Amino acid sequence: MKIKVNKKKLIVRILELLVIIATIILTPMAIKYATAVRGYEAVGGEYLLPIFALVIILIIETIYEESEERRKQQCRGGKHEKIK
């Protein structure tokens, strides 16, 4: 049995997973660093890192969806028609 793998979708999912892991690691580090630099505890831009990661994931997903839509339109346009 041969399994069909969509390589582009797999790469997109791996990139999204890497962004999530980086966010989980970097956010606490950024909070500790900002607290050390300021000398007191406050809420600043370091708390926006998860939102920034979400924006990156949405951009990656949008690029993937647009490329798939373009590929489907090219297939309908006759570029990939099968010879009868």
Q: Is residue 13 in a domain? A: yes
pLDDT digits (tens, 9 = 90+) for 27-82: 999 999 999 999 999 999 999 999 999 999 999 999 999 999 998 888 887 555 55
d(C-alpha 62, C-alpha 64), whole Å: 5
Query: How many domains are there within the chain?
Result: 1
Give this prediction's pTM. 0.77
pLDDT digits (tens, 9 = 90+) for 9-34: 999 999 999 999 999 999 999 999 99
Spatial contact of 23 and 53, defined as CB atoms under 8 Å apart: yes
Read off the pLDDT band of 4 (50, 70, 90).
Answer: confident
Range of the domain at 19: 7-76
Task: Report how far apart, in Å, the C-alpha atoms of 81 and of each of 66, 71, 76 are.
Answer: 21, 13, 8
Q: Is residue 32 in a domain? A: yes
Q: Is residue 82 in a domain? A: no
Please give the residue that has the higher pLDDT: either 83 or 38. Answer: 38
Q: Is residue 83 in a domain? A: no
d(C-alpha 30, C-alpha 19), whole Å: 15
Q: Count CA atoms closer than 13 A to 77's CA, side-chain side.
A: 7
